[in-house]
Amino acid sequence: MLEDYFKEIGQKSYKATQVFEWLYQKNIYDFNLFSNIKQDIIIKMQEDFTNDFISIEKVLEDTDVKKFLFRLNDGEHIEAVLMEHNYGLSLCISSQVGCNMSCKFCESGRFKKKRNLETFEMVEQILLVKDYIEKRIDSVVIMGIGEPFDNYDNVINFIKIINDDKALAIGSRHITVSTCGLVPKIKEFSMLPWQVNLALSLHGATNEVRDKIMPINKVYNLDILIPTIKEYIEKTNRRVTIEYVMLNMVNDREKDAYDLVNLLKNMNIYVNLIPYNETSHLEFKKSSKNRINKFYQILKENNINVTVRREFGGNIKAACGQLRSESDFK
């Protein structure tokens, strides 16, 4: 894309590589400091582009986790969460301001989507966090505020940039896109020639349960969604992560575990059981450790690959949308 820009203004396409090096490898964002680019080109770039970044408004920290509240140039807010694992630093970024999916347990779902994030606003979340911690981000998860596949084109462009060797060089296997189940976009995503990970926010093993907590299920229910995931796995030969937030007495019963076994048996998946981060605005409660452990054991005994995600950020409003909600909707 940037190569096309330089061609259009009568310059060599390699100028795009030089700009990428300044932005992503040297962390220099002031066009006037691009010393190997002529001044007339700098002036033209200043006319056509802005280097006004989004800004970090607040940072909350807890053990192995930092939550960032960003202020966008139009005054809106989004969030990102940095988690430290034994395999490196993982950043969960937002893709929209608000969300139209309205999942009942999600703080972001309380507020409708105001707009999609532009590609640069997603990239800048990584750049700002990287500069703040002065360390490399090892992996990126597009699982913050918003439904990534509801902002499909910008998300795809974002992935191309952060995966580019001349930019952030984050390997495709270290990038994960999460969806609550937009079937047409899952099909489209399966056609792309890369090895980016797909995560499905499932959270219910029957249509009855999923209907109660995820309105998207009334559009693409499990009878449509699960065959689509099977097609995705067959086409890409890639394992899909199944995200399952544990909600007390909603989807964490033994019956729910066996329903999940029956739904997912013989599929190339692994299940990530997620302890719920409670919020005062919603009625849902976190499953007890005993209920989570029992659920885990049932899946394990029935040959389902399963993990229980470490709890991050319970003391710093790390649930998706909590910090933005506190800032924008007091």
Q: Which residues are catalytic?
A: 79, 320
3-state secondary structure of 14: coil
First-to-last C-alpha distance (Å) of the chain: 41
Q: How far apart are CA 142 and CA 128, in angstroms?
A: 16
Asked whether the beta carbons of 227 and 204 are under 8 A apart, the reply is: no
**10 Å Cβ neighbour count for 231?**
14
Q: Provide the sign of the torsion angle of the four alpha carbons 268, 273, 276, 277, taken in this order.
A: negative
- Nearest alpha-carbon partner for 263 in 242, 291, 287: 242
**3 state SS for 252-296:** CCHHHHHHHHHHHCCCCEEEEEEECCCCCCCCCCECCHHHHHHHH
CA 212 to each of CA 105, 144, 170, 215, 263: distance values in angstroms, whole numbers, following the listed order: 10, 22, 37, 7, 18
DSSP state, residue 13:
T
